[in-house]
Amino acid sequence: MKNRIDPELRAMLDIFPPLNLDDVQATRKAMEDAAQLTELPVDEEVVVSNRMVPGPEDNPYVRVRIYEPKEKTEKLPGLLWIHGGGYVLGAPEGDDLLCQRFVKEANCVVVSVDYRLAPEHPYPAPLEDCYAALQWFAKKVDELGVDASRIGVGGQSAGGGLTAALALLARDRNGPELCFQMPLYPMIDDKNNSPSSLEITGNLIWNHDLNEKGWSMYLNGKNGKDDVPVHAAPARATDLTNLPYTYTCVGQLDPFRDETLDYVKRLCQAGVDVEFHLYPGAYHGFETLNPTATVSQRALAEYVGAVKHVLNREKVVERK
């Protein structure tokens, strides 16, 4: 397997410690400690703030982290961002640099959701937190200086899974209308039995074993059973019609490769506009672990560019 990895990406795997989901608390603590050691200053052109917003019935408040340009001359598009972490790890601060990049390059306002994590809070808690944040975002567009007709949602990995689930949920509940979804290498298939999920083992950031544990915690041990809801595992959805313009990507050595390919195919068949990129030699989360690699720079530029293109495309379409 290692000889198939892009040479620029290979070296980082040798120093990246394998994730341990047998002790989630310890892994979270290690990630928090590492984040504090590498805390970076906020870009001078971006304002970052935290708000507590109304949550779902069982969670009165959800924290959101807001990124916006210091100066606004017109109403901007908005992006609801959902961090990754296998449904069990992560926090909005881990994506500070990326969210600031969205603000500067795509000229948008970003609201990042600090949703509850499994196993303490299994499905539907994380998704309901994201839906509550989306509802708040849609209601506060005037206060945030956002164009209500140009709100999208995006996320990586489990954040991509929640992105796909949120787009389905907003459609099915007749909730806030989304013009764009960007589920990047999304974690959407709880069955964990595709050829790529079985193929990817060992320390490639995420693998079959970690995927099994993550899904088990998120679905409270019901993963792989017949009664898993489509909003919990969007790969199970049979109706993908009336979903927004979609951008997605995945590495060829990612366990989510095949579920992403299948999702893209079925979105196309459902009449949804889709842009998709497959990156040879790339493992799960490659552009986050090694952002300076050539393939990572390409991937980042392409999906940041997709946010800019689609959210501003909607403005042009509306004007016509």
In the residue annotation, 254 being an active-site residue is answered as yes
Per the annotation, the verdict on 121 as an active-site residue is: no
- Tokens describing residue 313: 């495309």
C-alpha torsion 55→57→60→65, nearest 10: -10
List 157, 196, 216, 296, catalytic entry: 157
Catalytic residue, from 147, 254, 258, 296: name it. Answer: 254
Say if CB 245 and CB 163 are below 8 A apart: no
Phi, psi (rounded to 5 degrees) for 148: -60, -25
CA distance to 40, 197, 204, 281, per residue, from 5 (Å): 29, 16, 10, 4
- Dmax (CA) for the chain in angstroms is 54
Whether 196 sits among the annotated catalytic residues: the reply is no
For residue 292, what are the contacts with CB-CB under 8 A and spacing of at least 6? none
d(CA 308, CA 289) in angstroms, rounded, equals: 23
Catalytic residue among 96, 112, 284, 296: 284
Buried b (16+ CB within 10 A) or exposed e, 4-33: ebbebbbebbeeeeebebeebeebbeebee
What is the token pair recorded at 181?
């979804």
- The closest of 148, 155, 69, 159 to 106, measured between CA atoms, is 69
Q: Catalytic residue numbers?
A: 157, 254, 284
